[in-house]
Structure 1
Amino acid sequence: MNSELMKLSEVTTKIGSGATPRGGKEAYYSTGISLIRSQNVLDFKFSYDGLAFIDETQAHDLRNVTVEADDVLLNITGDSVARCCMPDKSVIPARVNQHVAIIRTDPDLAHSKFVMYALLNPLAKKSLLSLASHGGTRNALTKAMIENFEISLPQIDIQKKISSILSVLDEKIELNNQMNKVLEQMAQVIFKQWFVDFEFQNENGEPYRSSGGEMEWNEELGKEIPEGWRASNLEDYCEVITDGAHYSPKEVDDGFPIATVKNMSEYGIEINECKRISIEDYNLLVHNGCRPIKGDVLFSKDGTIGRVLNVLRDEEYVLLSSIAILRAKTQYSSIYLGILLKLPSTLKMIKDGFVSGSALPRVVLKDFRRAPILIPQNVILNKFDHIIGDLILKIKQNYDLNQRMSGLRDTLLPKLMSGEIDVSEIDL
């Protein structure tokens, strides 16, 4: 594959970043024109989490950084520097703030999606991170650094073929992510019907509360609950409430994964992103109870509070203390516990009553054990597990498939970019 090393300034029509509207966060709106910030730019994908909105006047002031559909977005400051993606078309028209750069390619010279993949190539990423670390106390990529950054560009038709191959994997990953969101919403709807509205099916297949099911007042919860249910606390529901290691073992190049909150994704632990520790340190932490097992519920308790994962199979990784392990007693449902902890009302209760610290908020486990919980009858929990279990398992299967496809994409990416895999004869 014949390629030419070219500066980004030679193959783009625009490179530039924006600004935060006067007034900062207080100037944002609940709807309006999207303002893309660094938290919205992940590697390979755009995130809607924390997407801000501005009004027409603010957008007019930022009109020189209007985002177009085929732009490449690059984070240029802070810990997320060098993260790169393209915007979702649904946020167009949008603007960027000062932490995100727009890279707009000349379509006759460079295919925009190819440029994104080129910047995500491990060698390019390493170079960008090295550039960003020079100079000030905070990682930053200047406009000049981006303009002078060189990428290897084959002919435009080859660029499009490489982009198409990698995009197939990314599109399948995104499809699975969307399916998981729908499945999780279904699980939450059923949970609310059963355990908030108390409309689970009675022995006649009718909704319990609206068909006259017996209710009784519970003083602890301050509301009526179905007869035979009870209010208690997490310590009563769980046989184990603990957390991971309270020290950081020495990192090694080839070893066993140790996970922190930042390694918790929506549906699993990002094993490939975890630091590695020696087998000796790993075995010690397993002995100390820092390895979750199938059926556990993980809860992020330090810094970022409230990420929740159900552990659906045994895997070889251990945890640091920022993640709590909750192990339900055998007669109770871990799926019920996991969904309960994800409820906004539960998270608010935890943050209001069991969090200490301002610089680094954290949940204190000895207090967390007293968190109130509604315990339904076992027969209801068993029925719920039977219905919801398949949904949760499908979510996990989709997540695992995405992990494999991400691994395949990450393996193919440098080989395609270097020409080790020749796509010239592939008919796409």
Structure 2
Amino acid sequence: MKSEWTKKKLSDIADFNPRETIKKGAIAKKIPMDVLRPFYRDIPYYVEECFSGGTKFRNGDTIMARITPCLENGKTAQVSILNDGEVGFGSTEYIVFRAKEGIADKDYLYYLVCSPEVREPAIKSMVGSSGRQRVQTDVVKNLEIDVPPLVEQEKIGSFLKAFDDKIALNDRINKNLLEQAQAIYTKMFITDADSLWPEGKLSDLIEVCYGKDHKKLHDGDIPVYGSGGIMRHVDRALYEQESVLVPRKGTLNNVMYVNEPFWSVDTMFFTKMKRQNVAKFVFHFLKGKDLASMNAGSAVPSMTTKILNAIPLQIPDDQTLSTFEAQVSPFYQTASYNNKESENLAAIRDSLLPKLMSGEIDVSDIDL
């Protein structure tokens, strides 16, 4: 019951940037900022690099971006990609939260950090030059929050966790479906490729287009795609046809297939198809390429229209493309259904989150 909640500072229930050790030069798992997906609990992947500095964390810790616009875009995650006892690291632009044992539940703490109770004061505390503003960590540490007893924290955390667990399961299923589609692509277009197919360039199949800034758009139901996935939803679409999205900066290999009206941010390319039944073929073709290595001379990894357009490939005949489309379409239809379900689950979770964190919804008598 809310009457049993007590007012505490956030630093009373969480350790900030807890002290951990990784030897300089040691190979460790790194979570770059651009890996985090907006308003998504789980970290999709990591890279292994020599440690030279950065925030350090363990499984169960919450990491929150402290720099604009990453915080506003919802880049907050719960670490779960490490082994028992392993320490990972990431950007110096993270704040790391660790639930104090016997005082706070790690899942409750993650959702608390995601809630307006913490996000809104953190965003308001930002200082610095335009475009490089950062959260004042001391302001977040000293936030006074009504905190339920540990048992009730565990119930709140478990209740919200069920939504994200189902979203994560849908993502694993979709990953498996795309791997099956990729295997079909490999067999048809690499293993059994017809030597008589003409040589061409990617520009023979697609028109590469620049995404646009979305900040002035009103909220709506059209997804906005960045390199990490869906960032927000707006009231109008930039393009409404089947497309393949390619990051211009950041995680270049994070190519995406979209088959719904969408908006693409200005750090992404989207593509228009010049022939029928080529979008999924182009997607799997690019998924099999190391795009990050194609502009090795650039100081910052980036993709250009010139590089994309010039990628050589054999161009299959229309019948083969149609056969491929028919074989992989069921996988994509199932993945689309799962994505819609995940969007609905996330919307329900986000509507319940502030009510649970404020005590408006009482879970003290619920057995979970």
Aligned twin of 2:331: 391
Give 1:329's aligned residue: 275
CA positional deviation for 1:120: 0.6
Distance in 1 separating the partners of 2:67 and 2:20: 13
Aligned: 1:407 with 2:355: no
Equivalent-residue separation in structure 2 for 1:110 and 1:141 (angstroms): 23
Identify the residue that residue 298 of structure 1 maps to in structure 2.
Answer: 245
Q: 1:255 to 1:73 in 2, by over 3 A?
A: closer
| Structure 1 CA distance for aligned equivalents of residues 65 and 267 of structure 2 | 30
Cα distance in 2 for partners of 1:335, 1:253 equals: 31
Quote how far apart the aligned CAs of 1:13 are: 5.7
Residue 163 of structure 1 and its aligned partner are, at CA, apart by 0.9
Of 1, 6, 10 in structure 2, the residue corresponding to residue 4 of structure 1 is: 6
> Which residue of structure 2 aligns with residue 80 of structure 1?
70
Please give the alpha-carbon distance, in whole angstroms, between the structure 2 residues aligned to 1:103 and 1:318.
Answer: 32
SS state at 1:172 partner = helix
Structure 1 counterpart of 2:63, which letter? Answer: L
User: 1:255 and 1:40, CA in 2 relative to 1: closer, same or farther beyond 3 A?
Assistant: closer
Matches within 5 A, 1:255-404: 257=222, 259=224, 261-262=226-227, 265=229, 270=230, 273-274=232-233, 276=234, 290-293=238-241, 295-301=242-248, 305-313=252-260, 315=261, 317=263, 320=266, 322-330=268-276, 332-345=277-290, 347=291, 351=295, 361-364=302-305, 368-404=308-344
Aligned to 1:112: 106
1:38/1:298 Cα in 2 relative to 1: closer, same or farther (>3 Å)? closer
Query: What corresponds to 1:219 in structure 2?
Result: none
Alpha-carbon distance in structure 1 between the residues aligned to 2:247 and 2:15? 43
Between the aligned partners of 2:93 and 2:356, the Cα distance in structure 1 is: 30
Partner of 1:163: 157
- Kindly indicate whether residue 202 of structure 2 is the aligned counterpart of residue 234 of structure 1: yes
What are the superposed Cα offsets for residues 168-206 of structure 1, whole Å, 9 maximum, x if unpaired? 0010111111112222222222221221121xxxxxxxx
User: Radius of gyration: which is bigger?
Assistant: 1
d(CA) in 2 for partners of 1:177, 1:152: 34
The aligned residue for residue 220 of structure 1 is none
8 Å CA contact 1:110–1:153 kept in 2: the answer is no
User: Are 2:29 and 2:49, in contact at CA under 8 Å, matched by a contact in 1?
Assistant: yes
Q: Percent identity?
A: 20
Listed as ranges, the gaps of 5+ residues in structure 2 are none
Q: Report the count of equivalent residues.
A: 360
Task: State the shift of 1:320 in Å.
Answer: 5.0
Measure how far apart 1:41 and its partner are: 5.6
Higher-RCO chain (CA-CA 8 Å, sequence separation at least 6): 2
SS of 1:251's equivalent? coil
Deviations 1:198-233 (A, max 9, x none): 1xxxxxxxxxxxxxxxxxxxxxxxxxx525422223
Q: Deviation of residue 410 (structure 1)?
A: 0.8
Cα shift at 1:257: 4.9
Residues 1:305 and 1:405: Cα distance change in structure 2 (over 3 Å): same
Partner of residue 29, structure 2: 34
Q: Against the structure 1 CA distance between its residues 7 and 75, is the aligned structure 2 distance closer, same or farther, given a 3 Å change threshold?
A: same
Q: TM-score, normalised by structure 1?
A: 0.70
Letter in 2 for 1:5: K
Equivalent position to 1:422, from 349, 358, 362: 362
Structure 2 counterparts to residues 198-213 of structure 1, below 5 A:
198=192
Rounded to whole Å, the distance in 1 between the matches of 2:315 and 2:285 is 11
Partner SS, residue 176 of structure 2: helix
Please tell me whether the aligned partners of residues 224 and 262 of structure 2 are also in contact (alpha carbons under 8 angstroms). no
> Do the aligned partners of 2:62 and 2:76 also contact (CA within 8 Å) in 1?
yes
- Give CA-to-partner distance per residue, 1:255-287, whole Å, 9 cap, x none: 67584634x62xxxx2x615x46xxxx5xxx7x
Shift of 1:164: 1.1
CA deviation after TM superposition for structure 1 residue 144, in Å: 3.2
Alpha-carbon distance in 2 for matches of 1:255, 1:12: 35
